[in-house]
Structure 1
Amino acid sequence: MTDLPVVVVGAGPVGLAAAAELRERGLDVVVFERGPRAGAAVAQWNHVRLFSRWAELIAPAGRRLLDGTGWVAPADGDYPTGQDWARDYLEPLADVLGDAVRYDTEVVGAARRGRDRVVDSGRDTEPLSVHLRRADGSEDRILARAVIDASGTWTTPNPLGGEGLPAIGERDSSAISYRVPDVDSDSERARYRGAHTVIAGSGHSALTAIVALSQLANEPGTRLTWVLRRGRTDATFGGGEADELPARGALGLRAKKAVEDGLLDVVTGFRTAAVDTDAEGRTTLVADDGRSIDGVDNVIALTGFRPDLSWLSEARLELDSVLQAPVRLAPLIDPNVHSCGTVYPHGVAELTHPESGVYLVGMKSYGRAPTFLAMTGYEQVRSVAAELAGDHESAARVELTLPETGVCGGAGVFDDPEGASSGGCCAPAPAVLTLTVPSIQR
C-alpha cells in the first residue's frame, strides 16, 4: 500500500498543512476539496478578523514550501481577516501544491476495500477505498494508504434548540442565521438596522457578533438581545488581559463593555424549545421553562459546531460518547472538565483509530469541543505525517506550546457549582463581570 497516495479531505488551513508535511517527506498526496477553491469555508466568513497573528496561522511546512517560490510572507504580528488568510496564504499554498489539490470533488465515503465495517478479515492488508462525487454529478473512487480527514465542521453548525436538536419550528424559520453578520455590507447592515436581533451563544463567534452589531445599537429602532443557555456569565468574556492571545482577550473585553454600556439586553438560562412565527413574519423564541422573547426580527445562532461523521460510517472509529472526538483526545479537551478553556498539544497517539490509516484532524478532531486553534491542527498533521513516513520518534514528540486563555473557574458547559475548577489547568482568575440582568418576559 505504500505505493498508494495519502488522501487528504479538505483544502482548508489544516488540510493544506497536511499536504505540505506529506510532500516535504516525499509521500504521494492528493487533496479533495468540495468547494471551488482553497479555503472555501474560510471564504464564507471573509469579513471576520482572526484573533491569531499571522505567525500562528501559517503552518511551518507550508511556510517552508512557499519560501522557495518568491512568496512574500505577511508580517508575523498582523491580524488577518478570513479574506486575507485565504488570499495571502491558503491560495498560494494550494497553487504550489499544484494538481495534488482537486476542487469541486466531495468525498462521500471511505471504507476498507471490499469490506464493510463488520468484516475483520483483510482489514490490515487491504487499502482504503475513498468514494468521490464531482460537481457534475459523476462518481469515482480512489484507493489510498491513509485518509486524513481535515474537512472541519463549518457545514454542520449546532442548532439553536437547547437539546442539541433543532427547536420546534427552527428548520422552517427564515429569521435564523448561523453565521457572524458582516455589518460593513450594505445589505447586511440594512437587515439589522432598526430591527430586534437575538444573538444566541457564549463562544468567540457570539462575542464577535456582539461587537459587530453593537455598532448599530444606538440607531433608531435597533434592539439587541443576547441569549445564553448558561444561568451565569462567569468566564464568558474570556481572560481579558491575562489571555496569552492578546486579540482574543481584547475581543472579550469589547463585548463586556458593550454589555456594561447597556447596548444589549442579556437573558440567561434560556434554552430554546420553540421558534414561533406570526402572520407578519415576527418571531417569538420560547424556552423550555415557558419564558419567551417576542418581537424578534433576526436570530443569529452561534452555538458551536459538530462533526459530520456520516461518510465515515464504514470506518471503525473510536469516538468519545460525549464529544464525538477520538477517545484518547477527548479527556484533554472536554469543556465539562477543562472549564479554563485551555487546549492541549497532542499528535498521532491521540488521533489513532482502530481503522488503521484513518485520522480525524483539525476542527473535526475536536468533535463538539470548542477552543480549537489553527496551530493545534498544524501540530496534529506534522505528527501524523511523520508516522506515515515511518518516523515514529518525531511522531511521538510534541513540538508545540499553546497560549493559555487566562480563564479559571466556571462550570464548563453547564451550571454546576461543584464543577467549577480550582486548580489543574487554571491560572489565577482574572476579574470578570457578573451580570444581574433579570430574565425577560416580553
Structure 2
Amino acid sequence: MTTNALAELPVVVIGAGPVGLAAAAHLHERGLAFTVLEAGDGPGAAVRQWGHVRLFSPWRYDIDAAARRLLAATGWVAPAEDDLPTGTELVEAYLRPLAELPQLAPHLRYRARVVAVGRLGLDRLRTTGRENAPFLVRLADGTDLLARAVVDASGTWGTPNVLGGSGLPAHGEDTVAGYVEPALPDVPGADRDRFAGRHTLVVGAGHSAANTLLALADLAAVAAGTTVTWAIRSTSPARTYGGGDADALPARGALGSRLREHVEAGRIRLLTGFSVHALAEVDGRVEVTVRAADGATRSVTVDRIVSATGFRPDHSITTELRLDLDPVLGATRALAPLIDPNEHSCGTVPPHGVDELAHPEPGYHAVGVKSYGRAPTFLMATGYEQVRSVVAALAGDWAAARDVRLELPETGVCTSNPVDSVDGADCCGGPAPAAEDIQAKATRGLPTGVAGGLLTAPLALLPTAGGCCAD
C-alpha cells in the first residue's frame, strides 16, 4: 500500500473510556479520520462498574482540554469545578455527552471487542514493507478493520492481579472464586447483602482497598455481626494512610485519615506481612493461609474476600506486533524507568509522550493506564497528555508532540518501598518529595526536548489506576 493510501485509513482507538474519548477529541481537532472500538455497550463501560465511587479530584481536573473545547462549543455547561464526581457522574455529565457529539458519535462502535491486532499480510517475522502495511484490527464477531495507526486505550480493568502473594495464583484460588469479590464492590448499595453480618477480608494497600474498608466499617456500625479484616503484604500501612491534612486533594487525605482512625480504634483489624499462599473452602467459608518469609504459616477464616490487589495489562491481542516491553513492568522499555514504583511516586513521574510510548512497531501506541503496565503510579491527566502528544505526532506536528507538560500533586503522592511490597495495587499516599528531587527525577533519562513544564497543582486521578476515589 502506498503512503498516501495508508494515510487515508482511519486511526483506530481501542476503548471509549476517559482517555480513549480524549484521543477521539484530539483526532477530530487535528482533522484525522478515526474509529473508536468499545467492548461495552456505551461510553465509560469500565467506569460504570465502579460508578458508586467518588473521585478524589474535582471536576476541573477530570476533563480533557480538547474534549472541553468540543463540548463548550455546543453550549454544554461544565459541572461545578470544585465538585467531586462519582464514576456514574463522570460518565453521565461528561463522557456520555462527549460520545454523543455529532463530531464523535458516528465514529464510535459499541459491543466491538478487539481480539487481535496485526499487520495486513505480515506476521511478526516479516520486515520488508512493514511500515507501509496497514494495521489489521480483528473483532470478536470476525470483522476485520484496516487502520493507519492504533491507539490502545483499552485499560486494565478486565485483568486484575491474583491474590497469590508471589504474583502467581494462590493454591486453590480458582476453587474459591465464588467467595471473591473484585475491587470496589458497592458495599452500601447493590452488594450490601453479600457483606452484612459477615466477616470480610480485604487484600490490598491501595485506595481501592481503602474505599472498600471504609464502606465496610460503616456497614459494621449498623449491621450486627459484620466484621472487617485488612491484609497487606508490606510491614506498614503508612503508604495507604497518605498525606492526611497536608494532601493537596483534601478528599484523598481524608480517606487515609479515616482509615487510620478505624484501624486504631479496632473497628478494622489490620494484618501486615500478609502473603496469600493458599485458599480453601471449609464449611461454607474460606480458609486463607499465608506464608511468611521464614516459611512459617498462619491462617484466617472469612466469609468473603475483596481482591484489591491492582491490575495488569493484557498484551495478548498484540502478539503479532513488534513491541518492546520492559520485562518487569510491561510498559515500554523507554517509559519503565520513569514510572518504576521502586523509584518513583505519582508525584515524581516525569512528563512523557509519544517518544516514550513508541514501539519498534511504528503507529501502535498503548496509552492510559495500559501504558503503565503493572506500575501503580498512573494518573488520569497523564493519559490526557499522552494522547495529546501521540495525536500531534500522527498529524506530523512533532514540535507539539514533544512539548510535553505534566502537572503533579503537591503531596499525597504514592510511594513504594523496594523492601516492602507495593501489593500490586493502585497507590497514592505518603510525603511529597522535595522540589529539587522532583526536577532531578523528571529530567533523568529523557530525550532532549521532552522534559519540561513541571508544575505543582493537583492532578486528576483514576481509580484502579493511581488511586482517585473517595467514598
Taking structure 2 as the reference length, what is the TM-score of the superposition? Answer: 0.85
Contact kept, 8 Å, 2:42 with 2:110, in 1: the verdict is yes
Whether 1:62 aligns to 2:43 is: no
Whether 1:20 aligns to 2:50 is: no
Aligned to 2:105: 98
Whether 1:172 aligns to 2:175 is: yes
5 Å-filtered alignment, 1:11-410, equals 11-96=16-101, 97-133=104-140, 138-173=141-176, 174-185=178-189, 187-218=190-221, 219-278=223-282, 280-289=283-292, 290-338=296-344, 342-406=348-412
Q: Which 5+ residue runs of structure 2 have no aligned equivalent?
A: 1-5, 423-430, 441-471
> What is the alpha-carbon distance in structure 2 between the residues aligned to residue 124 and residue 335 of structure 1?
34
Aligned to 2:449: none
Contact kept, 8 Å, 1:340 with 1:425, in 2: the verdict is no
Distance 1:196 1:426, change over 3 A: farther
- Extract structure 1 runs of 4+ deviating beyond 4 A: 407-410, 420-423
> What is the alpha-carbon distance in structure 1 between the residues aligned to residue 162 and residue 421 of structure 2?
20
Q: Which 5+ residue runs of structure 1 have no aligned equivalent?
A: 428-442
Contact kept, 8 Å, 1:340 with 1:410, in 2: the verdict is no
**1:33-78: CA deviation from partner (whole Å, max 9, x where unpaired):** 0011000111111100011111111111111111112222111111
> What is the alpha-carbon distance in structure 2 between the residues aligned to residue 238 and residue 179 of structure 1?
20
Distance 1:111 1:409, change over 3 A: closer
Q: Which amino acid aligns with 2:202?
A: I
> What is the alpha-carbon distance in structure 1 between the residues aligned to residue 23 and residue 191 of structure 2?
36
> What is the alpha-carbon distance in structure 1 between the residues aligned to residue 289 and residue 200 of structure 2?
15
> What is the alpha-carbon distance in structure 1 between the residues aligned to residue 88 and residue 67 of structure 2?
18
Distance 1:88 1:415, change over 3 A: closer
Contact kept, 8 Å, 2:242 with 2:253, in 1: the verdict is yes
> What is the alpha-carbon distance in structure 2 between the residues aligned to residue 49 and residue 227 of structure 1?
23
**1:129-178: CA deviation from partner (whole Å, max 9, x where unpaired):** 11112xxxx31111111000000000001011111121111112111112
- Any idea what SS the aligned residue of 1:285 has? strand
> What is the alpha-carbon distance in structure 1 between the residues aligned to residue 433 and residue 85 of structure 2?
35
- Any idea what SS the aligned residue of 2:381 has? helix
Q: Kindly, what percent of the aligned residue pairs are identical?
A: 53
Contact kept, 8 Å, 2:347 with 2:408, in 1: the verdict is no
Contact kept, 8 Å, 2:413 with 2:432, in 1: the verdict is no
> What is the alpha-carbon distance in structure 1 between the residues aligned to residue 129 and residue 151 of structure 2?
21
Contact kept, 8 Å, 1:199 with 1:300, in 2: the verdict is yes
Q: Which amino acid aligns with 1:345?
A: P
**1:251-277: CA deviation from partner (whole Å, max 9, x where unpaired):** 111211211221111111110011111
> What is the alpha-carbon distance in structure 1 between the residues aligned to residue 98 and residue 415 of structure 2?
40
Contact kept, 8 Å, 1:20 with 1:61, in 2: the verdict is yes
Q: Structure 1 stretch 39-48 or stretch 341-350: which is displaced more?
A: 341-350
- Any idea what SS the aligned residue of 2:156 has? coil
> What is the alpha-carbon distance in structure 2 between the residues aligned to residue 404 and residue 292 of structure 1?
40
Distance 1:33 1:410, change over 3 A: closer
- CA positional deviation for 1:401: 1.5
- Any idea what SS the aligned residue of 1:235 has? helix
Distance 1:406 1:179, change over 3 A: closer
Distance 1:162 1:415, change over 3 A: closer
> What is the alpha-carbon distance in structure 1 between the residues aligned to residue 308 and residue 16 of structure 2?
24
**1:339-381: CA deviation from partner (whole Å, max 9, x where unpaired):** 5764333111110110000000000001001132211100000
Aligned pair count? 418
